[in-house]
Structure 1
Amino acid sequence: MSLDALRDLIPSYARDISLNLSSLASETVLNDQQKWGCFLASAHAVATVPVVRAIEAAAADKLSTEALNAARAAAAIMGMNNIYYRSLHLMKNKEYGTLPARLRMNVIANPGVDKMDFELWCTAVSAINGCGACIDAHEAPLRQHGYTAPQVQAALRIGAVVHAASRIVASAEALNA
């Protein structure tokens, strides 16, 4: 399935989401690895089958095998970390924040691609998963390494649109089932 085929799955009432998918696919503020890694990590974070398949297909010729796996790893690790760290942030009892997490997160230190690209993908996934602590933790090194606000914003926009497309496709499938 292609990105155009994915756009065809989006009902007319969500045309803005379809148009945003198209414009973000043409986005130039990020290089192809950064952009398609964001798309892929975001798709895996939401895990709606047709969206994952379409974005996997679209990213396959734009990302190396290492980058494909790193984007998937960003979704996986942040799926765990976003829940854990969001919980610590939301809890009134701050004692839990003083305890070691004791969760394996080795992929963050050695993702197999440029570390800042991985941070960008983690930022997009953290936005999808609603963890402000993780968004801040991953955005800070990006800015320290010269990423601009428009570049970080592009990752957030990709995450938002992939999330919306996933929800719309899933709800359309539910109505047609």
Structure 2
Amino acid sequence: MSAVTETIQELLAIVGQEADYRNASLTLLENGNSRYVRDLKLNFTSTLTSAHLSEKECALLALSIAVNNNNTILTNFFEKQALAKEASAEDVAEAAGCASLLALNNVFYRFRHFTGKEKYTQIPARVRMQLMSSPVTGKEFFELMSIAVSAVNGCEMCVNAHENSILALGASEERIFDAVRIASIVTSAGKVIY
């Protein structure tokens, strides 16, 4: 067995998949004996730790990104991780709800930003966002999930607004950085584990 195949199997075991599971992306990496597989595994395992976020927060952030990216394997994995780190069912639901709400906001506010027309900022949005008003995970952490999803979805206006909110709530830039780092790693892993 090649080192690449062994690393793929180790990565699959981490996320609860059978050793022989393959999809088109994993097959390409395996057939090409890609050195990247080792980096992918090391990056992925690093999503579970942070000097600035608790393990529970890391898992919930990763869950929100997996839901945002519509990745069933990673959603199931990070849900289990979050629950194992003492997240409640309500915390888990909020991570999923945040992904959905921010997808809505990211499309809407990107549109407003891209057009740059004052008229569109004057028309009421007519969308409900009650989840943001009193989140069960706390305002600061909900904003961290929000900035992570917004970064993945490419909404500059949303990223800036959430960063300002997070800093105003007293959080450090290191917490913001780690939230976005986790989002990028989960997104990366989801390109080959799906």
| Amino acid paired to 2:81 | A
Q: Counterpart in 2 of 1:50?
A: 73
How much has 1:169 moved relative to structure 2? 2.0
Deviates more, 1:94-103 or 1:41-50: 94-103
Q: Could you tell me which amino acid in structure 2 is paired with residue 146 of structure 1?
A: G
After TM superposition, the score normalised by the length of structure 2 is 0.79
Which consecutive segments of 4 or more residues in structure 1 shift more than 4 A? 6-12
The answer as to 2:88 corresponding to 1:88 is no
Q: CA–CA distance in 1 between the matches of 2:59 and 2:165?
A: 20
Larger Rg: 2
User: Using the alignment, how far apart are the partners of 1:40 and 1:87 within structure 2?
Assistant: 26
How far is the alpha carbon of 1:36 from its aligned partner? Answer: 1.8
Normalised to the residue count of structure 1, the TM-score between the two structures is 0.86
Give the percent of matched residue pairs that are identical in Structure 1 and Structure 2: 30
1:44-74 deviations in Å (ceiling 9; x for gaps): 1101121111112222212112211111111
Could you report, residue by residue, the CA deviation over 1:139-175 in whole angstroms, capped at 9, with x for unpaired residues?
Answer: 11211122111110000001111111112224xxxxx
In the other structure, the counterpart of 1:140 is 164
* 56, 68, 75: which one aligns with 2:99: 75
Q: Residues 114, 33 of structure 1: CA spacing in aligned structure 2 closer, same or farther, 3 A cutoff?
A: farther
Q: Per-residue deviation at 1:94?
A: 3.1
Deviations 1:74-118 (A, max 9, x none): 101001111110111111433112211111111110222211111
Cα separation, partners in 2 of 1:19 and 1:90, compared to 1, 3 Å: same
Structure 2 residue 106 is matched with structure 1 residue 61:
no
Q: What is the CA–CA distance in structure 1 between the aligned matches of 2:47 and 2:163, rounded to whole Å?
A: 20
**Helix, strand or coil at the partner of 1:89:** helix
Higher share in helix: 1
Residue 169 of structure 1 aligns to a residue in which SS? Answer: coil
- 150, 157, 174: which one aligns with 2:174: 150
Aligned residues, how many?
170
